[in-house]
Amino acid sequence: MYGVRCMDIGFIWDEDKYQEVQRMLRVQFYEVVAAWDDPHGYETPDPQGHEDRWMWIGKTPSGRILSVICSDEDAPLQRLITAFDAGQRYIDEYYKRN
C-alpha cells in the first residue's frame, strides 16, 4: 500500500520515504518544517537536475542546516522528496547570503 503522510501545514511525504529518511539520514519532520520556516533560507535548483523539483536550504533552531528536496506536483501542497544535512557548498552559500 502506498502510504502518504499528509500534514495540515501544507506538506505531503511518502510514508515509506519518510521512514527511510528518519532511519538513514536522521532527519525528523519537525526539523524540515523548522528549516522551511527559516526566513534566511533560500531556494535553488535540484542538484540532480530534475526539472520538476527544487531544493530549499534552511537552518533549524538547533543550528542544523538542511537541504530539503521538494516538488510542486501536488500544489498547493509541497511534496517532500527527501531531506538531509546540507553540503558545505550550500552551507557556505547560506552564510554568504546572510
Side-chain-facing half-sphere of 9: CA atoms under 13 Å: 8
CATH code of the domain covering residue 70: 3.10.450.530
76 or 25, higher pLDDT: 25
pLDDT surpassing 60 at residue 85 = yes
pLDDT for 5 equals: 44
**Total tally of structural domains belonging to the chain:** 1
**For range 14-31, the mean pLDDT:** 89
pLDDT in tens, 50-74: 888 999 999 999 999 999 999 977 6
Indicate the pTM of the whole model. 0.84
Q: What percent of the chain lies above the pLDDT cut of 90?
A: 53
Whose cell is 538531509? That residue is 84
Whole-Å CA distances, 23 to 17, 18, 62: 10, 9, 19
pLDDT surpassing 60 at residue 11 = yes
Cβ contact 4:81 at 8 Å: no
Domain residue limits at 70 = 4-97
Q: In whole angstroms, what is the distance from residue 88 CA to residue 57 CA?
A: 12
Q: Is 53 left (phi over 0), alpha (psi -120 to 50) or beta?
A: beta
3-state helix, strand, coil in the chain (%, to 5): 30, 35, 35
